[in-house]
Structure 1
Amino acid sequence: MTPRTPPLGRRESTTLAPADRYERRRLTWEISIVLAVTVGQSALYSVLSLVRRLLAPVPLGQQQTQVNPSRDTQALWDAAYQLLSVFFALSLVALVVYLLWEPGSNALRRIGLDFSRFGGDLGRGILLAAVIGVPGLALYAAGRALGITVAVVASPLDAAWWTVPLLVLSALRAGLTEEVIFIGYLFDRLRRLGWNDWTIILSSAALRAAYHAYQGFGAIVGNFVMGVVFGWCYRRWGRVMPLVIAHTLLDIVAFVGYPLAVALWPGVFAPVPTPTPTPTPTPSA
């Protein structure tokens, strides 16, 4: 019986030989440093933010947090700072891809972040966004009703004509940052350290959940499930591109569709008037 040939991206992602003792030590340090300056750092701040919220006199369900907050009162300077924030975040993604590069092996092709099968990637991404987005919205509403999720406030759309393009760019930044590092990078490196795929999936999903802990327990559960689903999809498809597309679409809907959601369900999405603790640095959604 002819063995089943794995998808192209998955086949290429396993061509690197397992690391020897010296290489394992080097990879362990590399992973630690990468996480310390990227998503691991944000996850730690996010968990500390949740702890601070739980210790505050205001109940968690009556608190709120803002994604993509304004960085300056003047619109032009705010846009400049937002663009720089996106640029430096994507620079970290470029650094991770650079670290993945091996002689004779294209890192982007190995993790499936290219346009060689864009039609299929787009279809899978849209389907995945629908599968994750609808239950995610219900989970957020349930978390708000139970008082275990903070009110997430998106930026207003009428600040300037460039507000929506900047929000779309921020959504792309979030999709690339999280999926390239949580999935593409960690799968590649942890496989070389000898981890099995399901250990990697569960570990990266837990890190993703911690990364969004500042939004409350509903976000922790939702993002853990999302991490498991995305990890399983990468294991099956061997491509990061559908995950980046799905994540970007989810965040575009969250960032740009927020005013519509407020109008339709003000009791769920409208910000609460109760004062909250001083904001703590948190990652974008």
Structure 2
Amino acid sequence: MTRLDDWLRPAPPAQTAPPPDPAERRALWFEITVVLLVTFGLSALSSMLSLAESAMAPGGLSDQTVALNASRSTVDWIDLGRQLLGIVKLCAWAALGLYLLWRGGLGPEQVGLSRRPRWRRDLLPGVGLAALIGLPGLGLYLAATAIGANVTVVPSTIDDHWWRLPALVLWALANSSAEEVLVVAYLISRLRRLGWGENSSLAASALLRGSYHLYQGLGGGLGNVVMGVVFGRYWQRSGKLWPLIVAHWLIDAVAFVGYTALRGRVSWLP
């Protein structure tokens, strides 16, 4: 119990700068608002509308289907180009978060992104986090779908092209990089600078993560809030971001590639 209590209690952040003056506070709030409006904040608003639309459709949530990765053209090379553009967009979001943190005095290593991730320090914890979140998450999805609180999530409907599997792996990496950099490192660091406590900044991060997954249904939103709490607290306690990126990438890559390999061979897959 003591170890659990220690983990639940956030480590005190290092004080590297004096509290912001009113002008800096306004600038920080403006920056956060703009960053969220062009990235996951806008996705959250769109997700809420998608949830409302699915709930009002005939049959409700349980009769609706959403594809996480879909073909974007009937022309092979145009589809590939659009897939790559989407991947580049997510990578640019991650780069934007890192750049703004760097301009604010927090370089990549200070938010847990060392130049070379290490096996024991970064990769193994990532594998552990993936197992901790991925297996219960699958169970929650199946339970939420069974009671009609989720739409049917199809990880991929991309046509069978030679580049499909590499693209899905890259999508998983781009998703994980953008989300963990912006929703964990960037947002929590910025809220810390504004004087927010560790618990309140963690709650904001987790709720944001859950909100832009609401297009999957209430179960998808709740599951990602839980994931946000675990990932955010891990980062607050350890200061390491690589394990979160590795874990998120593994969860998405297994879902995307596994679904593509098993579709039509496993009865419970849509």
Give TM-score scaled by structure 1 length.
0.86
Secondary structure of 2:160's aligned partner:
coil
Secondary structure of 2:74's aligned partner:
coil
Question: What CA distance in whole angstroms lies between the structure 1 residues aligned with 2:259 and 2:102?
Answer: 39
**Residue type matched to 2:90 in 1?**
A
Residue pairs, 1:11-22, within 5 angstroms: 14-22=15-23
**Residue type matched to 1:112 in 2?**
G
Secondary structure of 1:25's aligned partner:
helix
**Alignment check: 8 A CA contact 1:11 1:238 kept:** no
| Structure 1 residue 11: Cα displacement | 8.7
Q: Name 1:129's counterpart in structure 2.
A: 130
Secondary structure of 1:266's aligned partner:
coil
Q: Name 1:206's counterpart in structure 2.
A: 207
| Structure 1 residue 230: Cα displacement | 0.5
Q: Name 1:275's counterpart in structure 2.
A: none
Go from structure 1 to structure 2 and tell me whether the alpha carbon gap of 1:13 and 1:178 turns closer, same or farther (over 3 Å shift). farther
Secondary structure of 2:31's aligned partner:
helix
| Structure 1 residue 86: Cα displacement | 1.1
**Residue type matched to 1:97 in 2?**
L
Deviation string, structure 1 residues 83-137 (Cα, Å, up to 9, x no partner): 111112211221221111147x452111112235522110110000000000001
Go from structure 1 to structure 2 and tell me whether the alpha carbon gap of 1:16 and 1:110 turns closer, same or farther (over 3 Å shift). farther
> Any gaps of 5 or more consecutive residues in structure 1?
1-9, 271-285
**Residue type matched to 2:40 in 1?**
V
Residue pairs, 1:19-168, within 5 angstroms: 19-102=20-103, 105=105, 107-119=107-119, 120-156=121-157, 159-168=160-169
**Alignment check: 8 A CA contact 1:121 1:242 kept:** yes
Secondary structure of 2:27's aligned partner:
helix
Go from structure 1 to structure 2 and tell me whether the alpha carbon gap of 1:181 and 1:14 turns closer, same or farther (over 3 Å shift). farther
> Any gaps of 5 or more consecutive residues in structure 2?
1-10
* 1:227 and 2:231 correspond: no
Question: What CA distance in whole angstroms lies between the structure 1 residues aligned with 2:61 and 2:159?
Answer: 29
**Residue type matched to 2:112 in 1?**
G
Secondary structure of 1:101's aligned partner:
helix
| Structure 1 residue 14: Cα displacement | 4.4
| Structure 1 residue 155: Cα displacement | 2.0
Give TM-score scaled by structure 2 length.
0.90
**Alignment check: 8 A CA contact 1:96 1:185 kept:** yes
Residue pairs, 1:243-282, within 5 angstroms: 243-263=244-264, 265-267=266-268, 269-270=269-270
**Percentage identity across aligned positions?**
44
Question: What CA distance in whole angstroms lies between the structure 2 residues aligned with 1:248 and 1:13?
Answer: 29
Number of residue pairs aligned between Structure 1 and Structure 2: 259
